[in-house]
Chains A and B, each alone.
Chain A
Amino acid sequence: HSSKRSLTKIYAYGHDQDQRKFWLALILTSVTLQDIRNTVGNIPMEWYKDYPHIGYDLDGKKIFKPIRNKDELDEFLDKMENPDYWRTVQDKMTGADIRLSDEQVDLVHRLQEGKFGDVNFNEYEPAIDFFSNEVMIHPVTNRPQDKRSFIPSLIEKEKVGKLVHAIKMGWIKPRRPKETTPQYYDLWAKEDPNSILGRHKMHVPAPKLKLPGHEESYNPPPEYLMSEEERLAWEQQDPEDRKLSFLPQKFACLRAVPAYSRFIHERFERCLDLYLCPRQRKMRVNVNPEDLIPKLPKPKDLQPFPTTQSLVYRGHSSLVRSISTSPSGQWLVSGSDDCTVRFWEVSTARCLKTVEVGGAVKGVAWNPNPSICLVAISYDDTVVLLNPGLGDRLVSTATDQLISSYEEPEEVKEQPVQWTVAEGEGHEQGHRLILKHPKAVRQVTWHGKGDYLACVMPDNGSSLQVVIHQVSKRRTQNPFRKNKGLVQCVSFHPIRPYFFVATQRYVRVYNLIKQELTKKLMANCKWISSMATHPGGDNVICGSYDCRLAWFDLDLSTKPYKVLRHHKKALRSVAYHRHYPLFASGSDDGSVIVCHGMVYNDLLQNPLIVPVKVLKGHTITHDLGVLDVTFHPTQPWVFSSGADGTVRLFT
């Protein structure tokens, strides 16, 4: 009975199926084998597996396992034949077979179905609910209320009095109104975004240590090992200058490497590096190298300038030393080493006239005055003034009249040059005046008004190198008393009474009225070959035999404003255009380089010089290329004469 009770209880606890089985086995043990109770306790019974006994009874005697000699066949027969086989279980504690009684089987069935073990137990008995929501007339408990629940509390009164007093005294203040501002805020709201970015950008990581290289190996490749001299040199170097702070060494094996003596020292230096490292970003200036080059306008925007060879004036049989255009731009005169002077029509390249003279022509110059038709030609020691008879007939006859109307002055001065009037055949050819000089004349140039003519007779030994002739009065003067070097070329200032004289290395500017030296320009070159004056008069270009072209701004300095080294060989001639901002230079390399040379009226603005075109056409003969260049007076065209006996027009 008692076991039944406990079973019921047990059942109430263990709902789990396995637990239930366990408890069941336990109950059965305790129920069926009262007399042979095993005292081994709750131990795994397989501990007694290898023993003949299974435990000990109350008296301390061994409980022996029942003899089990049934084999599988017996088992099977038993199963077939024994009607109680299904209710026979083995007691683990004793090993004996137990046949379950009907009640026990019933109990097992009930438990298996999940019911209470006790048949009579009703789990749904009716219950009386004391603490319900219904109010009853009688209290649940019969205890009367305490007295203290009717009397006000003294302690509380005392406490309240204290608080009231404190309030009265102002010790307790009324609660402050709660602040409405939120307790949290945007930490970075007011921060300058740039500073954040800047902080991130400007982060400078600690300098990295150099990674060890092969030279630091204990067994470096032989090329890293220093030779004896290198080692000596290393030792003599200042420690700061050394490329390596140690000597690479070779050891037989890693085991042989000694402790590194400078370890502490190096660590210390590293720490010092980190500590003293200037944590500042170096602002490297990012400059595009092309931005540093001054912005020059494109040649395309500087048009017009000559670009192509248009006409070739053929006829001379030897080098053409000098060319000059008529002031109207209709004619061109060229003087050559074949002892002829040819007159050409510019637009058709037609040779209209050929005048033979007595020697290789060194220089020709057309009188720039449009009302005088005269061409100065120099050969050997002679300068011939020639009237070509081209252009306006009236001008031509007026020029002849001007020359023939000359009257001999009463007192004849001794002149260095002999003036004679051409007659006979020479006059037929157009020769008007012949000037015999004491020496060979190299260059002739007219003053802008057309009355004065300057001739150059280069000679280092004499003071008579430059003479200025006045055609209308047939007078010659020697402006310089002293010889200041070999004169290369001369030029008149186009507006003011200045006179430019180029010697080998200097250009001297003389004031002809005051008769004094105004300026001395240093060309920074070895040998000036040619010179041209800007029509405005404030700029001069000089070509030199050492391939340079120097541009002088007379207002700026006596040194060249700009030196251009575009030619590969000696420059022979330079020229300015009269109207267009162009200048050209001809050289022995057979090319003519045309540059844009803009001179501004504004004194603060420096001239703009842009090389725009290399014109090639002349063939190089006897190592000579272009000998003379000159511009067309009205059009942006340039003429060049060369050693190949041609004159070319580039437009």
Chain B
Amino acid sequence: MSQVQARFFTENTKYLIDDVPFSIPAASEVVDLSGVINKLLEAKNDGHKHVEFDFLVRGQFLRTSLANHMETENISTEEVVEIEYVEKFTAPQPEECIMHDDWISSVEADSEWILTGSFDKTARIWSMEGKAVMTVAGHTDVNLFNGLSSLLLTASLDQTIMLWEWNSERNKVKARHCCRGHAGSVDTVAVDPTRTKFCSGSWDKMLKIWSAVPTEEEDEIEEPNRPRKKQKTEQMGLTRTPLMTFSGHNEAVSSVLWMDAEELCSASWDHTIRLWDAETGGQKNTITGSKVFSCISYSPLCRRLASGSTDRHVRLWDPRSKDGYLVLLSLTSHNGWVTAVRWSPSHEHQLVSGSLDNVVKLWDTRSCKAPLYDLAAHEDKVMCVDWTENGLILSGGADNKLYTYRYSACVSDAGA
């Protein structure tokens, strides 16, 4: 087998070539194929510049020689092989390294600001250029962070969630509400797509839904030491109680997210991922794994859940499937617990994962054997990752550093 019949196609109209089968050497690798495509394009239009391509055979990235790949994938060499080519994703470029005073426990970014929570009991707001804009101190313990434009949420080991209002022009932060009700450290918060509610998950096995709209009223709660609380409200904002409490997990809730306005998804230490109806509080589906889930992420683009657990695998699940044990795909390359996963907001195949082995990995689900890129900047455990719409990957870790990477490939790919 020295020659293989192949037909190349692409969805990117910029790089269209004639739809005729070519006979190419079976031993050719990505670089060779890329050269072939480039030559064809040069012949077609004069002003063509050299572009590196990546190749997909039956939805799987070509990583070895074509012959090898077809043998492992069980593709017949008799027929014409359909090969899709896409522009090669360029490596993420490191941009900033933002130093913190302590371990970074969470990171959240939008197109303008970066919010980080740290183990030094503060939350910080940074500009995209890495300038410290604001330090939000108020918690007595480690912070988690979640933002909704001018309203910020911090959840802490001290069992409370604080709702802050931040005026970016005057650069002032005011605590509006202190959400009390959890009986354990609050490990995760998530704001619903309508931005009127948020959900929190805690070590006390509960999920609670709170209102995210700041008001001037204080919710009444029965607390034994009333005077102490009264005294605190001045600095800590008004106390708020949960709208709803979901119980069902047998262990701590490690991660929670909204799949849409009505549906919640939570991952727990009891080896399950549960889907909840946010209106009624009923359980809709349970995905049972074999290890503690430490983080989950949902992509509305491909409708898949990605989970990181206390082993080295990133697993993909179909939240709609009734068979709750089926792992769609296992991405294995990390050497430690996967502490954070995040789907790309713009690309349906890409996700990023952080692990205790100090490495952040960028994955494409079409190449499940090896990640696209390893981002090995951290010197200690990676605790959190995030991915913004404008192609910025952020990762924070136990080395007190927040790294940002510019990742531009998704812009040119698929016309996004």
Contact = CB atoms under 8 A, between A and B. Distances in A.
Bound together: yes
A328 B204 CA distance: 9
B204 A392 contact: yes
Interface residues of A, number: 19
B310 interface: yes
B119 interface: yes
Contact of A348 (B159, B184, B251, B381): B381
Interface in B286-332: 290, 292, 294, 310-311
A391 B184 contact: yes
A311 interface: yes
B252 interface: yes
B310 A310 contact: yes
A349 B311 contact: no
Contacts of A635: 269, 292, 310
B175 interface: no
Contact of A651 (B103, B185, B310, B398): B310
Nearest to B310: A651
A350 B203 contact: no
Given A349-B381, A634-B251, A635-B269, A394 B203 contact: no
Contacts of A393: 158-159
Interface in A341-383: 347-350
Contact of B383 (A304, A328, A348, A392): A348
A411 to B, nearest CB: 33
B75 interface: no
A330 interface: yes
B203 to A, nearest CB: 6
A651 B311 contact: yes
Contacts of A310: 310, 336-337, 356
A106 B289 CA distance: 131
A328 B294 CA distance: 16
A214 to B, nearest CB: 65
Interface in B258-306: 269, 290, 292, 294
Chain B interface residue count: which class? Answer: 20 to 34
B183 interface: yes
A394 B225 CA distance: 10
Interface string B213-228: 0000000000001000
A394 to B, nearest CB: 7
Interface string A298-330: 000001100000110000000000000000111
A392 B184 CA distance: 5
Nearest to A309: B336
B251 A330 contact: no
Interface in B157-193: 158-159, 183-185
A651 B336 CA distance: 10
Interface in A595-651: 634-635, 651
A348 B397 CA distance: 11
Nearest to B312: A308
Contacts of A397: 225
Interface in B72-87: none
Contacts of A394: 183
A556 to B, nearest CB: 34
Contacts of A651: 310-311, 337
Contacts of B337: 310-311, 651
A393 B182 CA distance: 10
A303 to B, nearest CB: 8
A634 B185 CA distance: 17
Contacts of B290: 303-304
B335 to A, nearest CB: 9
Contact of B185 (A304, A311, A330): A330
A305 to B, nearest CB: 12
A199 B184 CA distance: 83
Nearest to A328: B203
Interface in A22-47: none
A311 B269 CA distance: 17
A391 B294 CA distance: 19
A328 B184 contact: yes
Contacts of A350: 103, 119, 142, 398
Interface of A: 303-304, 310-311, 328-330, 347-350, 391-394, 397, 634-635, 651
22 contacts: A303-B290, A310-B310, A310-B356, A328-B203, A329-B269, A330-B203, A347-B294, A348-B105, A348-B381, A348-B383, A349-B381, A350-B103, A350-B142, A391-B203, A392-B183, A392-B184, A393-B159, A634-B251, A634-B269, A635-B292, A651-B310, A651-B311
Given A311-B337, A350-B398, A394-B183, 17 more contacts: A310-B336, A310-B337, A328-B184, A328-B203, A330-B185, A347-B294, A348-B383, A349-B381, A350-B103, A350-B119, A391-B184, A391-B185, A391-B203, A392-B183, A393-B159, A634-B251, A635-B310
Q: Which 3 A-B pairs have the closest CB atoms?
A: A392-B183, A651-B310, A330-B203
